[in-house]
Amino acid sequence: MTTELETTATDETGAADAVSAYESERQTVEQLRGARDRILAELRKVIVGQDEVIEQLLYCLFAGGHCLITGAPGLAKTLLIHSIAQAFDLKFQRIQFTPDLMPADITGTEILEETHEGHRELRFVQGPIFANVILADEINRTPPKTQAALLEAMQEHQVTAAGVRHKLEEPFFVLATQNPIEMEGTYPLPEAQLDRFMFNIHIDYLPEDDEVSVVMQTTSRTNDPIQPLFTGEDVTRFHDVVKRVPIAEDVARYAVRLAAATRPGRPESGDYINDWVSWGAGLRAGQYLVLGAKARALLDGRAHVSLDDIRAVLLPTLRHRVLLNYRAEAQGVTVETLIERLLESVTPPTTE
């Protein structure tokens, strides 16, 4: 039978653990709130401009999502991702996607080798996907069969080979770059592949002054090295804290309505959706809208999610989840145009 003294001791231990957990979470929140300026300061050593692109990428990473970066060659997409991995002090692997790349070149393969006892046995040799940050460089230059090698890893953070599951090290991110699909030698990504990316971020050419700065900087001196700011454990704790950010039901419902309004043939969809859209956003869109908004709120130093947070992450979340039809293309309608209409047509809640 438990004595009164033992019960009191147990209660005190539980209270002490709760206080310790609260203090740890509070410190993590403070660390996260100051993260954006510190990371931007480090990345500006090698990246000029593109602050909006960097911020969207940080929302994705702190929420624990994968990211697709789309842009023409030569816009520092690869350099940005490598610099992010350095700032977070994470194990980095680059996979160059080419038409002849095979799934085993990504996940790994089994080889037959001889043991010291003279027996032969199969041994799994890990592929480059066994890292914290995977740069899937020019992902749309390989056929869908090879792209599919990433599906299990992105969703379940594991690789299955010969019926054996191999867990990937946490945290695990796939940061993929792709060239515009109109370019020669590219393949459109399958919808199931696209849906696993939290954001699709577009990177564009720099303004003239920033482009001059890049030319001056890259032709005159060696850049200062990126200093590690966090560890993998820090990033994992950030993921937990972001999920704990409170959100009002009305704000979450607004995110869900925005995603649902992109689906043609539904009562809540406007005529322009039925006219222009072949396929709308799925369930993951609402989840990623909320997670991205939570990460943005914390990085802005706020402990709650606002409607502006939802709106700020709407375009990168829906850009690759809404498939326009031939009628929209003929009329020159873009996803950006459609999302502007979406924000006008979906009524936000009156209170947050």
Q: What is the DSSP string of 22-36?
A: HHHHHHHHHHHHTHH
Dist. CA 118–CA 133, nearest whole Å: 38
**Length in residues, the chain:** 352
Categorize the per-residue pLDDT at 247 as very low, low, confident or very high, splitting at 50, 70 and 90. very high
Per 3-state DSSP, the chain is made up of helix, strand and coil in percentages (nearest 5) of: 50, 15, 35
Instruction: Name the percent of the chain lying above pLDDT 70.
Output: 89
State mean pLDDT over 164-182: 86
Tell me which residue has tokens 């510190």. 38
The pairing of strands 133-137 and 158-161 is: unpaired
Categorize the per-residue pLDDT at 23 as very low, low, confident or very high, splitting at 50, 70 and 90. low
- Report pLDDT for 19: 46
State mean pLDDT over 128-132: 93
Domains annotated for the chain, with CATH where assigned, are 30-244 (3.40.50.300), 245-347 (1.10.8.80)
DSSP character for 319?
Answer: T
DSSP secondary structure string, 126-195?
Answer: E-TTSSSEEEEETGGGS-HHHHGGGHHHHHHSEEEETTEEEEPPSS-EEEEEE--TTSTT--PPPHHHHH
Instruction: Give me the helix-helix angle, 283-299 and 232-243, nearest 10°.
Output: 110
Dist. CA 201–CA 340, nearest whole Å: 17
State mean pLDDT over 308-325: 94
Q: At residue 18, does pLDDT exceed 70?
A: no
22: tokens are 């609260």
The pairing of strands 164-167 and 120-126 is: unpaired
Q: Of 26-40, 45-59, 197-211, 302-316, where does mean pLDDT reach its minimum?
A: 26-40
State mean pLDDT over 179-188: 71
Nearest to 48 by CA among 210, 260, 276: 210
How many C-beta atoms lie closer than 10 Å to residue 28's C-beta? 18
- Report pLDDT for 181: 64
Residue 165: strand pairing partners: 160
Dist. CA 37–CA 44, nearest whole Å: 10
11: tokens are 């209660």
Dist. CA 319–CA 292, nearest whole Å: 14
99: tokens are 């038409």
Q: Let me know: does 317 contact 199? Beta carbons within 8 Å.
A: yes
Q: State pTM to two decimals.
A: 0.85
Dist. CA 97–CA 231, nearest whole Å: 28
Instruction: Name the percent of the chain lying above pLDDT 90.
Output: 36
Instruction: Give me the helix-helix angle, 232-243 and 51-62, nearest 10°.
Output: 80
- Report pLDDT for 77: 84
What is the average pLDDT value for the chain, to the nearest integer? 84
Phi, psi at 186, each rounded to 5°: -115, 155
- Report pLDDT for 208: 85
The reply to whether omega before 171 is within 30° of 0 (cis) is yes
The pairing of strands 323-324 and 277-279 is: antiparallel
Over the stretch 68-113, which tens digit does the pLDDT of each residue have? Answer: 998 887 777 888 888 889 888 899 999 999 889 998 899 988 887 7
In the three-class reduction of DSSP (H, G, I as helix; E, B as strand; rest coil), residue 248 is classed as coil
